[in-house]
Structure 1
Amino acid sequence: MEYDEVIHRRRMVRNFREDPIDEGATERIVTAGLQGPSAGFSQGFGFLVLESPEDRERFWSTNEHNVQPERVRRAPLVVVPFACKDDYLDRYAEPDKGWTDREESRWPVPYWYIDTGMAALNVLHAAVAEGLGALFFGIPDEDWPALRDAFSVPEAYDPIGAITVGHPADERIEGSGDTRRRKDVEEHVHGGDWGDTFR
């Protein structure tokens, strides 16, 4: 599948079949996530990949504040992307970066979350390229301790959300993308000056 087609076919799938995913497809999807950029090549992210019914059920049991319906929980793969701020602070305290401390205030925005988000988008695109569907959803911070405890995740790692991956069910569940229109290029892209159109 051409990349342009992957981008245009990507949407959030909210209804999955239970059919298993080919093992090779899972590996390609997860590996694609690792190809995302990261500031200073810090690579301060990690994935928790849950395939077995037991692991997935353990994950769902930690989601007390954002309970997903059964049609989402049927997905045979859950990928949880985690961001690690410490990796970035450590990396930018190294000699080649010119800083001598780990001062967080030097960062204009939290790149650990941005980079992990880009890694997550790679997972979403890779799922489409494999002929599958995926859904990204948030994990409220009230549920982070339970998630960390359930899977022995170090305190330094923050889940930016979770991604369910699987074969879309025949019945499509509408989301915001179905009830709201995608804005035109002219509304998002500005050329030369914010008040100027792109083309």
Structure 2
Amino acid sequence: MSAAPEYRVWALPGIPEVRPGDDLAKIIAGAALGEGLPGLADGDVLVVTSKILSKAEGRILAAEDREAAIDAETVRLVARRGTLRVVENRLGLVMAAAGVDASNTRAGTVLLLPEDPDASARRIREGLREALGVDVGVVVTDTAGRPWRKGVTDFAIGAAGVRVADDLRGGVDAYGNPLVATVVATVDELAAAGDLVKGKAGGLPVAVVRGLPHVVTDDADEEGACWLVRPAVDDMFRLGTSEAVKEAVSLRRTVREFTDDPVDPGAVRRAVAAAVTAPAPHHTTPWRFVLLESEESRTRLLDAMRDAWIADLRADGLSEDRIARRVRRGDVLRKAPYLAVPCLVTDGAHAYPDARRAAAEREMFVVAAGAAVQNFLVTLASERLGSAWVSSTMFCPEVVREVLALPEGWDPMGAVAIGRPAASPPARPARDAEPFVTVR
């Protein structure tokens, strides 16, 4: 019968106050040889708090520079609540205040994270091999909160000589079920184990984990803890709620060139669900969305609209050449793999005997339709779908109703071309809101 798996973890006493320029490998080696300690052995893992690396590397600033330091370390705002900022820092880590910390440092100073924690871990590992002749793994840690969970925990921001993750994909569990998504963040589990004995205020910045030699590696190509930073394209929780809304609004651009990729009908329906939360007069629901999911339905509608448009242009006296150019410019709807036709239904409108109030009543409903379409477009953008809202159906409502077999009271409010953008749109120029504001 094989022995049950086990490991030991202990804090390493005797680490003095670290100052800029100190050789941490020598300091740790000296502490490991302290009286009554088991020393270090091949296969051990050292779990080292990043604070002492920051001090040794001179990553110390005066406290009055804290906000400026956070700004300098920030590459992207993730969420802001009052004065608290959760940001992505230059290391790609998402943390409160970019990891700029005022704890475990002299009053009046703050600590920045090491510039390259993986390189810092390699230097400690190489220094310990030179000083003690041992091959150990090194994990550099910091503390952060986690989405959906109260409290903080230590996690790895740097690593050397340690298998960063255990990729179990392609294997099976104890019941023979295939593992398709399981990648264990080994260095994060080591970081948390070390923190249980180091603590946050005990002056014990280094822990030793023994009994897990299989996680220690001499593979020169082993990636550091930076491998665990999730790429933006795979990050489903990249922003806080209010920030996500702002980004979705900024992503909402008119797209006129689409790929041939099919559009997920579920994504469009989620956009409709957002659209129908728009404000509307008299507690009505004056919106309908006709979704043209088949190529046949799109072609039939667009052909009929083109014929009606050509007839109108001929009635305006335009030459055939000018008509052809106009029609070509309107081909954005044909380029899209999916169309939606938002319609306005005013059966809940109040009847007024005079034209002035009747016109104002209809305008209220048209405004509500615009609000719904804006919700629709913004939600499509959040689904990474491009769109173009084109007014053409408004010029031939009878044709649209006939081709799509819609009730007489449904007024088409343009058409929305939907698809995956063929290219990233150019950056939106900054627009100052003040010229659009009047204060009384």
Both proteins in one fold, TM over 0.5: yes
Tell whether 2:282 aligns with 1:40: yes
Q: Decide whether aligned partners of structure 1 residues 171 and 118 sit closer, same or farther in structure 2, where only a CA change above 3 A counts.
A: closer
Tell whether 2:431 aligns with 1:159: no
Aligned to 2:382: 129
Kept in 2, the 8 Å contact 1:7–1:125? The answer is: yes
Tell whether 2:437 aligns with 1:186: no
Query: Please, what is the CA RMSD of the aligned residues?
Result: 2.5
CA distance in 1, matches of 2:393, 2:331: 19
Kept in 1, the 8 Å contact 2:248–2:378? The answer is: yes
Q: Decide whether aligned partners of structure 1 residues 45 and 184 sit closer, same or farther in structure 2, where only a CA change above 3 A counts.
A: same
Q: 1:21 aligns with which of 255, 263, 285?
A: 263
Tell whether 2:294 aligns with 1:52: yes
Kept in 1, the 8 Å contact 2:261–2:420? The answer is: yes
Q: 2:357 aligns with which of 80, 93, 106?
A: 106
CA distance in 2, matches of 1:50, 1:16: 16
Higher relative contact order (CA 8 A, sep 6+): 1
Kept in 2, the 8 Å contact 1:136–1:161? The answer is: yes
Kept in 2, the 8 Å contact 1:80–1:163? The answer is: yes
Kept in 2, the 8 Å contact 1:30–1:123? The answer is: yes
Kept in 1, the 8 Å contact 2:393–2:413? The answer is: no
Amino acid at match of 1:4: K
Tell whether 2:332 aligns with 1:84: no
CA distance in 2, matches of 1:81, 1:167: 20
Aligned partner of residue 347 in structure 2, secondary structure: helix
Aligned partner of residue 87 in structure 1, secondary structure: coil
CA distance in 1, matches of 2:290, 2:375: 15
Structure 1 residue 145 displacement after superposition: 1.2
Counting only pairs closer than 5 Å after superposition, residues 59-78 of structure 1 correspond to structure 2 as 59-64=301-306, 65=309, 67=327, 70=331, 72-78=333-339
TM-score, scaled relative to structure 2: 0.37
Bigger mean CA deviation after superposition, 102-111 or 21-30: 102-111
CA distance in 1, matches of 2:412, 2:260: 25
Q: 2:403 aligns with which of 139, 150, 159?
A: 150
Kept in 1, the 8 Å contact 2:287–2:369? The answer is: yes
Kept in 2, the 8 Å contact 1:15–1:171? The answer is: no
CA distance in 1, matches of 2:261, 2:301: 19
Kept in 2, the 8 Å contact 1:139–1:159? The answer is: no
- Structure 2, unaligned stretches of length 5 or more? 1-238, 310-325
Bigger mean CA deviation after superposition, 140-149 or 152-161: 140-149
Q: Decide whether aligned partners of structure 1 residues 184 and 171 sit closer, same or farther in structure 2, where only a CA change above 3 A counts.
A: closer
User: What whole-Å deviation, never above 9, does each CA across 1:167-187 have from its counterpart, x for those lacking one?
Assistant: 001275x8xx97xx6652110
CA distance in 1, matches of 2:303, 2:430: 34
Bigger mean CA deviation after superposition, 39-48 or 104-113: 104-113
CA distance in 2, matches of 1:22, 1:13: 17
Aligned to 2:422: 169
Kept in 2, the 8 Å contact 1:16–1:72? The answer is: no
State the percentage of identical aligned residues. 29
Structure 1 residue 116 displacement after superposition: 0.9
Kept in 1, the 8 Å contact 2:385–2:419? The answer is: yes
Structure 1 residue 126 displacement after superposition: 0.7
Aligned length: 175
CA distance in 2, matches of 1:71, 1:141: 16
Q: Decide whether aligned partners of structure 1 residues 182 and 158 sit closer, same or farther in structure 2, where only a CA change above 3 A counts.
A: farther
Amino acid at match of 1:170: A
Q: 2:368 aligns with which of 107, 115, 137?
A: 115
User: What whole-Å deviation, never above 9, does each CA across 1:135-155 have from its counterpart, x for those lacking one?
Assistant: 001025442111110011122
